[in-house]
């Protein structure tokens, strides 16, 4: 997959002030002032600006004037213009999108974990608990009973898969062992909050 990225330049603002005289040709009112912003982009969405520059261009003689070449009149106009150099918000649109995606991802992750915790607090026989093991593989446990002290009796799936998207391939009753494991509800709830438990269902 090719990801287009790089830098591009855009004109943030442009105006044609009255009363400014070109130092080169002497024409009045022909000066156009532009603010150029060079931004980093990914997929042509600007992330943040890396350079801001101003150009004074004469429409009559096409002369482009830098700050060092400006006469007293242009420099006087340039000072308040330069003080207003903060880029507009859309130059940070990529960063804003990343922040919004991060907020959405965080809220969605919390919501999923909250659902799993709620289900673990109301466990019943037959529930399937899908989890991530210590070796980063994925497997499942089935609730086979609840003891008098509220401990959960579980049987482990004998198989694991490398990717969670393949978990359905091993969710068969015949794949569970006959050995029983006893776990406290708090241990399972802590696993859910830590993200180790992926789903709790029938």
Count of domains in the chain? 2
Looking at the fold, whether 87 and 148 belong to one and the same domain comes out as no
Confidence of residue 16 (pLDDT cuts 50, 70, 90): confident
Domain boundary among 97, 132, 157: 97
- Helices assigned H by DSSP within the chain: 72-83, 93-120, 185-193
Domain boundary among 43, 68, 97: 97
For residue 154, tell me if it sits in a domain: yes
For residue 102, tell me if it sits in a domain: no
Looking at the fold, whether 9 and 59 belong to one and the same domain comes out as yes
- Least Cα distance to 157 among 179, 140, 135 occurs for 140
Q: Which two tokens stand for residue 197?
A: 């438990």
What's residue 25's pLDDT?
A: 83
Looking at the fold, whether 140 and 197 belong to one and the same domain comes out as yes
For residue 103, tell me if it sits in a domain: no
For residue 104, tell me if it sits in a domain: no
The residues pairing with 102 across neighbouring beta strands, listed in sequence order, are: none
Q: Is 24 left (phi over 0), alpha (psi -120 to 50) or beta?
A: alpha
Looking at the fold, whether 89 and 56 belong to one and the same domain comes out as yes
Looking at the fold, whether 57 and 114 belong to one and the same domain comes out as no
For residue 134, tell me if it sits in a domain: yes
Q: 28 pLDDT exceeds 90?
A: no
Looking at the fold, whether 93 and 113 belong to one and the same domain comes out as no
Looking at the fold, whether 138 and 79 belong to one and the same domain comes out as no
Q: 74 pLDDT exceeds 80?
A: no
For residue 52, tell me if it sits in a domain: yes
Strand order in the sheet with 5-15: 5-15, 31-42, 45-58, 64-65
Looking at the fold, whether 122 and 147 belong to one and the same domain comes out as yes
What's residue 171's pLDDT?
A: 93
Q: 79 pLDDT exceeds 80?
A: no
Write down the residue that tokens 């899908």 correspond to: 130
What's residue 117's pLDDT?
A: 95
Per the prediction, the chain carries an average pLDDT of 86
Q: 31 pLDDT exceeds 60?
A: yes
Write down the residue that tokens 């922040």 correspond to: 99
What's residue 144's pLDDT?
A: 93
- Domain range spanning residue 134? 109-201
For residue 124, tell me if it sits in a domain: yes
Sequence-ordered strand ranges (E) for 43-184: 45-58, 64-65, 128-132, 138-146, 152-157, 176-183
Question: Per-residue pLDDT averaged across 141-148, rounded?
Answer: 90
176 DSSP assignment: E
Cα-flanking dihedrals φ and ψ of residue 9, to 5°? -110, 140
CA–CA dist 63, 66 (Å, integer): 10
pLDDT digits (tens, 9 = 90+) for 149-161: 788 999 999 999 9
Looking at the fold, whether 56 and 77 belong to one and the same domain comes out as yes
């Amino acid at each position: 997959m090719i990801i287009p990225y790089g830098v591009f330049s855009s004109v943030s603002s442009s105006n044609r002030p009255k009363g400014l005289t070109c130092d080169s040709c002497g024409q009045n009112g022909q000066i156009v002032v532009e603010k150029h912003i060079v931004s980093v982009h990914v997929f042509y969405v600007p992330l943040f600006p890396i350079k801001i520059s101003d150009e004074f261009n004469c429409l009559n003689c096409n002369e482009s004037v830098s700050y060092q070449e400006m006469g007293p009149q242009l420099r006087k106009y340039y000072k308040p213009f330069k003080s207003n150099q903060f880029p507009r918000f859309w130059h940070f649109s990529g960063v804003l999108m990343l922040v919004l995606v991060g907020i959405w991802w965080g809220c969605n992750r919390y919501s999923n974990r909250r659902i799993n915790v709620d289900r673990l607090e109301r466990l019943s026989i037959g529930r399937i608990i899908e989890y991530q093991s210590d070796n980063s593989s994925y497997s499942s446990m089935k609730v086979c009973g609840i003891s008098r002290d509220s401990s959960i009796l579980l049987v482990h799936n004998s198989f694991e898969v490398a990717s969670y998207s393949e978990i359905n391939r091993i969710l068969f009753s015949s794949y569970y062992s006959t050995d029983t494991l006893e776990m406290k509800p708090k241990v399972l709830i802590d696993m859910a909050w830590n993200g180790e438990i992926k789903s709790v269902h029938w």
